[in-house]
Amino acid sequence: MGSHPANEPILNFAPGSAERAELQAELKRQMGEVVEIPCIIAGEEIFTGNTMTQVIPHNHGHIIANVHLAGPAEIADACNSAVAAQAAWLDLGLEARAAIFEHCADLLAGEWRARVNAATMLNQSKNAFQAEIDAACELIDFWRFNAFYARNFHADLQPLVSPQGVENSTEIRPLEGFVLAITPFNFSSVAANLTSAPVLVGCTSVWKPSRNSVHSNYALMRLMMAAGLPPGVINFLPCSGQELTDVALANPNFAGVHFTGSTAVFQGLWQRIGQALPNLRSYPRIVGETGGKDFVVAHPDCDRQGLLVALLRGSFEYQGQKCSAASRAYVPQSVWAAIKEPLCEEIGKIKIGDAGDFSNFMNAVIDQRAFDKISGYIERARGRDCCEIIVGGGCDDSVGWFIEPTIIETTDPKSESMVEEIFGPVLTVFVYPDDEFEEILQLCDESSPYALTGSIFSSSEENIQTAFEALRYTAGNFYINDKPTGAVVAQQPFGGARASGTNDKAGSPLNLLRWISPRSVKRTLDIPQEWTYPFLAED
Ligand code: NAD
């Protein structure tokens, strides 16, 4: 195995830095334009005239793009163009395909960085740092490491044995047909990776971006085209998910889906694929990363200041809209007595507002539906005897969809906000007696259907091991003395099991392997000329 790439360094955008000035100028430029976003099918721009807008969540009166939506005819064309493009894409070979995505990474690390970061800040309401770790660094890492992994497993998958007279080999074929990439709003990197990972190994794709991130995702589509992606290999198709699946699953060449989003949508999709099976040429690959109810469990012997920081950052960065965000915490009485006030005090210092104002730690939630859903959880908690809102709770959607960082303290560990995914800046804390650590681990394991991320805080190895074993299936990404967010490609491959997904670990070879369907080849050099076997001979 050759030497592997390094993780992309994170720019810090400190006052006076060149990157800060460049990003601010780009934000201003993008604020001053309204982009017409077409569908892109077989490399052609299609302006359908059936449009919806993209607004800035922290300033929702401001339109940044008009999106031309695909209807059934364009969806059918996109699927067919992906199928038509596959043979030439495969002929190009792994090395040339990998080079295109490495070029994508170089463009994103250089001249495209500010454009993509600014689009993500405006379209998804991320601060500069949150955009940088997502849209720039994580995606650069996905592209570089995936190319590295693909080269290596192509060699590793060759047969170990070729006896005398035989040559064995494995052809690493991609899936036959097109892959649907159905992508979430919250990470630009995830959207582009869901689309490009199957394509790197020879599949072709139809990409349906989330209705809330078309502007930033379009910039990434343009970047891939600028890097030399041939027409038809990825077809960019803003449209309704329902219409997409109606048309795509009726096409016998549907070969798989690479999904990230909510559990309910993924489960519905899986059921519809099951119904479509009799009409399909292949059994499709179904890869999906879905919701979470990510936990922090503290032991009485934990580092209290470390816990405070992890709860604040883990719960409230990007407004809690990370699938990995901490949203339930189990804190022993002695620790809670020490950190409750300072935690609320620190949360009181958080500034919320426009992503273009770099002093804001938090920005807006993604849209009115999210605002209503999250504020509904807060209002219901307010009305419950078992719950107390100890900090935050304020919501204001007059200019942007702003929700204060909120902590609900509850005496009921199964109360609604302790077990359901809220996907907003709301942390619920259950305070437990100091001597019930093992019971609390069991409660944590059993309380929620999800199993995405989680953290244990303790300073003793024995307690950490107890939690490690008790929570084996409670999280696909497990953190010791850290917040449960911020997985890095090639360091903590990401994914969860149970209701959180198929755990195919984006940013690792495990994910890429789902998009291949190898052909085993035996070449016989000494061709048998006699059909009988020795045992048939008479004594
Ligand atoms: P979502 O489920 O609303 O949408 C995801 C995608 O599915 C979008 O492109 C959407 O348009 C599409 N979709 C919606 N209905 C559909 C249908 N009937 N048929 C086909 N496609 C349909 O999710 P979201 O709000 O964009 O993202 C937030 C969710 O994603 C959260 O639940 C979060 O936990 C999850 N998420 C998980 C991970 C992970 O790695 N586990 C990462 C990011 C986000």
Tokens of 141: 């890492």
- DSSP sequence for 422-437: --SSEEEEEEE-TT-H
Q: Which atom of ligand 1 is nearest to the CA of 182?
A: 9
274: left (phi over 0), alpha (psi -120 to 50) or beta: alpha
- pLDDT recorded at residue 154: 84
The answer to whether 294 touches 325, Cβ cutoff 8 Å, is yes
Q: How far is the CA of 28 from the centre of ligand 1 (A)?
A: 30
pLDDT digits (tens, 9 = 90+) for 267-315: 999 999 999 999 999 999 999 999 999 999 999 999 999 999 999 999 9
Find residue 206's DSSP bridge partners. 180, 235
- pLDDT recorded at residue 39: 99
Which amino acid, 410?
T
202 against 155, higher pLDDT: 202
User: Rounded to an integer, what distance in angstroms lies between the CA atom of residue 289 and that of residue 484?
Assistant: 16
- pLDDT recorded at residue 143: 98
List, by residue number, the catalytic residues. Answer: 289, 323
Closest residue by Cα to atom 4, ligand 1, is 261
Q: Which atom of ligand 1 is nearest to the CA of 209?
A: 9
Q: How far is the CA of 184 from the centre of ligand 1 (A)?
A: 5
- pLDDT recorded at residue 263: 96
Tokens of 176: 């036959």
**All structural domains of the chain with their residue ranges:** 19-32+71-290+501-521, 294-480
- pLDDT recorded at residue 156: 86
Cβ neighbour number for residue 73 with a 10 Å cutoff: 11
The average pLDDT across 212-216 equals: 98
Strand intervals (E) in 101-246: 166-171, 178-182, 204-208, 234-236
pLDDT digits (tens, 9 = 90+) for 127-167: 999 999 999 999 999 999 999 999 998 888 999 999 999 99
- pLDDT recorded at residue 308: 98
**What mean pLDDT is reported for the chain?**
98
Q: Which atom of ligand 1 is nearest to the CA of 268?
A: 18
- pLDDT recorded at residue 461: 98
CA distances from 468 to 45, 104, 395, 440, 496 (A): 51, 39, 37, 13, 15
User: Rounded to an integer, what distance in angstroms lies between the CA atom of residue 377 and that of residue 133?
Assistant: 29
pLDDT digits (tens, 9 = 90+) for 181-200: 999 999 999 999 999 999 99
Pocket probe mutation, ligand 1, options 138, 262, 423, 498, max atoms within 8 Å of Cβ: 262
Radius of gyration of the chain (CA): 25
Residue 458 — very low, low, confident or very high, per pLDDT cuts 50/70/90? very high
Please give the CATH topology (third level) of the domain spanning 294-480. Aldehyde Dehydrogenase; Chain A, domain 2 (3.40.309)
pLDDT digits (tens, 9 = 90+) for 339-375: 999 999 999 999 999 999 999 999 999 999 999 999 9
Q: Which CATH number fits domain 19-32+71-290+501-521: 3.40.50.1820, 3.40.50.1100, 3.40.605.10, 3.30.300.30?
A: 3.40.605.10
User: Rounded to an integer, what distance in angstroms lies between the CA atom of residue 224 and that of residue 228?
Assistant: 7
Residue 454 has pLDDT above 80, yes or no: yes
- pLDDT recorded at residue 153: 87
Residue 18 has pLDDT above 60, yes or no: yes
- Helix, strand and coil content of the chain, in percent to the nearest 5, comes to 40, 20, 35
Is beta strand 406-410 parallel, antiparallel or unpaired with respect to 387-391?
A: antiparallel
DSSP state of 376: H
The average pLDDT across 402-424 equals: 98
Give me the helices (H) in 349-471, please.
Answer: 368-382, 416-419, 437-447, 461-470
Q: 55-71 burial by CB neighbour count: b if 16+ within 10 A, else e?
A: bbbbbbebebbbbbbbe
Closest residue by Cα to atom 20, ligand 1, is 241
List residues near ligand 1 (CB under 6 A). Answer: 182-187, 190, 208, 210-211, 241-242, 244-245, 260-262, 265, 268-269, 289-292, 323, 421, 423, 452, 494, 496, 500-501
pLDDT digits (tens, 9 = 90+) for 59-75: 999 999 999 999 999 99
Task: Indicate the Cα dihedral angle 52, 57, 59, 62, nearest 10°.
Answer: -20
- What is the end-to-end Cα distance of the chain in Å, rounded? 54
The average pLDDT across 461-485 equals: 98
Tokens of 255: 């070969």
Q: How far is the CA of 348 from the centre of ligand 1 (A)?
A: 31
Contacts of 224 (CB under 8 A, 6+ apart): 100, 104, 192, 196, 234
Cβ neighbour number for residue 334 with a 10 Å cutoff: 13
User: Rounded to an integer, what distance in angstroms lies between the CA atom of residue 132 and that of residue 467?
Assistant: 33
For the four alpha carbons of 354, 356, 357 and 361, in that order, the dihedral sign comes to: positive
Pocket probe mutation, ligand 1, options 134, 139, 142, 186, max atoms within 8 Å of Cβ: 186
Strand intervals (E) in 174-280: 178-182, 204-208, 234-236, 254-260
3-state class of 254 per DSSP? strand
Q: Which atom of ligand 1 is nearest to the CA of 423?
A: 31
Residue 259 has pLDDT above 60, yes or no: yes
Residue 2 has pLDDT above 90, yes or no: no
Residue 1 — very low, low, confident or very high, per pLDDT cuts 50/70/90? low
Same fold, 19-32+71-290+501-521 and 294-480: no
Pocket probe mutation, ligand 1, options 123, 130, 182, max atoms within 8 Å of Cβ: 182
Share of the chain above pLDDT 70, in %: 100
